[in-house]
Amino acid sequence: MSTPFKTYHPFIGPFDPCPPIKEKVYSTPPHLYMGFQPPNLPQFPPAEALARGTLWMPLYDPYYSPYERAKE
């Protein structure tokens, strides 16, 4: 199964002035793994859908800061 968080290791030069970040993390949205939207997806109630930014539950992707995830 795919994960919404991907990592990569950037090039670290010998003359970089700052301490390097050895692993960078980014997230990918869930619709990339869905293909066509299947029929009868579960839906949020209208007020909650407005708060979350999408009507369909499988397409909801909250933002988590990578710095907050590193604290865990």
Q: Tell me the pLDDT tens digit for each residue of 40-61.
A: 889 999 999 999 988 998 888 8
Under a CB-based contact definition with an 8 Å cutoff, are residues 59 and 46 in contact?
A: no
Under a CB-based contact definition with an 8 Å cutoff, are residues 5 and 18 in contact?
A: no
Spatial separation of the C-alpha atoms in residues 20 and 57, rounded to whole Å: 38
8, pLDDT greater than 80:
yes
Q: Rounded to 5 degrees, what are φ and ψ at 18?
A: -110, 160
pTM over 0.75: no
**Residue 31 three-state SS:** helix
Q: Tell me the pLDDT tens digit for each residue of 23-46.
A: 888 888 888 888 887 888 899 999
- Max Cα–Cα distance, the chain, nearest Å: 55
